[in-house]
């Protein structure tokens, strides 16, 4: 639930969701070290807390294939958004161009120029890790 709130906070630009997630994590932090196997999902969320997650936003008809290609490399702290039509989600808003698939790499509220080439995004992610 806390991890879902963190991702929803990023998706909808809702700081209150992220704050709730952080408060939930703060409540269980003392237990993580004592019972690590029982709290592995919480530990994963705690590891993400030190660095803001990067976002891959993909808009266009081939968004599923592009996301699948990037996700198979299992980069940490990446949140993926995609759509094959215009969207009002903050990371997808005003990024759709009819007929082509564009990939955006974003950190914080800043996105690099879009590309159609997944290998360019993979290079950026490799340099960022």
Q: In what order do the strands lie in the sheet with 54-59?
A: 78-83, 54-59, 102-107, 110-111
**Which domain covers residue 27, as residue numbers?**
2-49
| CATH number of the domain enclosing 113 | 3.40.30
- Shared-domain flag, residues 43 and 66: no
What is the value of pTM for the model shown? 0.80
**Residue 53's CB: how many other CB atoms inside 10 A?**
16
Distance CA 78, CA 53 (A): 6
Which residues of the chain carry a pLDDT beneath 70? 50-51, 128-129
The count of domains in the chain is 2
Say yes or no: 45 and 58 in one domain: no
pLDDT tens digits for 61-89? Answer: 999 999 999 999 988 888 999 999 999 98
């Amino acid at each position: 639930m806390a991890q879902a709130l963190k991702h929803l906070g990023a998706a909808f630009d809702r700081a209150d969701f992220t704050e709730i997630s952080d408060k939930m994590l703060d409540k269980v932090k003392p237990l993580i070290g004592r019972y690590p196997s029982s709290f592995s999902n919480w530990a994963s969320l705690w590891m993400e807390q030190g660095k803001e997650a990067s976002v891959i936003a993909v808009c266009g008809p081939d968004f599923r294939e592009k996301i699948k290609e990037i996700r198979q490399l299992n980069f940490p702290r990446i949140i993926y958004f995609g759509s094959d039509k215009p969207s009002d989600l903050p990371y997808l808003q005003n990024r759709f161009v009819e007929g082509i698939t564009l990939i955006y790499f974003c950190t914080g509220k800043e996105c690099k120029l879009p590309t159609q080439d997944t290998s360019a995004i993979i290079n950026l992610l490799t340099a960022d890790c």
